[in-house]
Amino acid sequence: MKRYRCLWLIVIFHFASSDFIRAETTLEKVDKNGALIIGTRTGSPPFAYVNKNNDWVGFSIDLVEKAIVPVISKKLNKQIKLEKKESAPQTRIPLLTSNAVDLIAETMTDTQSRRDSVDFSLTFFATGAQFLVKKGAQIKGIQTIAGKRIAAQQGSTNAKIIRERVPSAKLIEFPDQPAAFQALAQGQVQAYTNDGIQLAGLRAKAPKPDEWVVVGEFFSYEPYGMAMRKNDSDFRQVVNVGLMDAIASGLYFEIYDKWFGPKGEVPYPLSPETKRFLQMQVVPK
């Protein structure tokens, strides 16, 4: 349980560190280290995961590498490297605030309460929660889960919504996607809820994809953003410019196609509304 030990260390470090040292800005830190450190996932295909060749890849990682790192490099006048560390829903905010990572680039939903603790980039992907079930299961959506055993990911917004909207559902929360899927495959739970796109990714990676279906209408709105330390608007500006340039130049859609296109890891066509929404976020130069 090395991860917990890390967390406690972070806590201790936090109490030991004092505020009278002027906090260095993220750009200064990146400049000094020559590297941008991102926190990302290892088991959330196709956003961030370790693939068959043992490479740590994904859509979110590609966006940082191809859209954001070049902008930072240009701004600092030197080539910046990209370093990756593992983050999870419970560790990502502490990782940021303790300076262990500079940017969270994975599948983090931008929410108002999270904005109290961290700042977000513009939305780089939008999805909603659905259910993954065995083909032919009775569960068809959030209206049909009363009294059913539902797996969710610990620390996710989906679990929160189910607890509020269908209190009679038996919610069992797992720390990561593989454990939740295992429980679904063995019948400990009857459905697994997560963001639709992640379920599609999980299904595509399953040993027998045809045995599983993603069902139900979106019962939540999950806009993904990249999180960074609060009150560092220079860095936030660089990240946003990277994303906006990528959307405006079409680079974003190339990367999208690589992961979600017909030949991508998880075919998931970009709806015209989402495309329009992404383009509307781009402000003029």
Partner 1 sequence: MNYQFHWNVLWTGQTGGWLLQGLLTTLHLSILGWLLAVMLGITSGALRTTAISLLRWPAGVYVEFFRNVPLLVWMFFWYFGVPPLLPQGLQEWLFEHGVEFWAGVFALGVYHGARFSEVIRAGIQSIPKTQFEAALSTGLTVLQAYRMIIVPIALRLIVPPATNETLNLLKNSSVALTIGVAELTFQTRQIETYTAKAFEALAAGTIIYLVLCLTIARLMARVERRVAIPGLIARGNTDTA
**Which residues form the interface with partner 1 (CB under 8 A)?**
1, 4, 7-8, 11, 14, 17, 19, 23, 89-91, 93-94, 97-99, 111, 113-114, 116-118, 149, 151, 154-157, 159-160, 172-175, 179, 182-183, 186-189, 229-231
Q: How far is the CB of 96 from partner 1 (least distance, A)?
A: 9
Residue pair 48/58 in contact (Cβ under 8 Å)? The answer is yes
Nearer to partner 1, 131 or 268 (CB): 131
Nearer to partner 1, 90 or 144 (CB): 90
Strand 222-224 with 125-127, pairing? antiparallel
Q: How far is the CB of 1 from partner 1 (least distance, A)?
A: 7
Residue 22 CA to residue 180 CA, distance in Å, equals 43
Nearer to partner 1, 73 or 97 (CB): 97
Nearer to partner 1, 97 or 281 (CB): 97
Q: How far is the CB of 94 from partner 1 (least distance, A)?
A: 5
Q: Which long-range contacts (CB under 8 A, 24 or more apart) does 274-279 make?
A: 274/126, 277/123, 277/126, 278/123, 278/124, 278/247, 278/252, 279/247, 279/248
Q: How far is the CB of 146 from partner 1 (least distance, A)?
A: 14
Q: H-type helices in the chain, by residue range?
A: 2-16, 26-33, 59-63, 69-76, 92-97, 112-115, 157-165, 177-186, 196-205, 233-249, 251-260, 272-280
Nearer to partner 1, 20 or 53 (CB): 20
Q: How far is the CB of 89 from partner 1 (least distance, A)?
A: 7
Q: Residue 82, exposed/middle/buried by CB under 10 A (0-12, 13-18, 19+)?
A: middle
Nearer to partner 1, 45 or 94 (CB): 94
Q: How far is the CB of 275 from partner 1 (least distance, A)?
A: 30
Residue with tokens 């330390």: 229
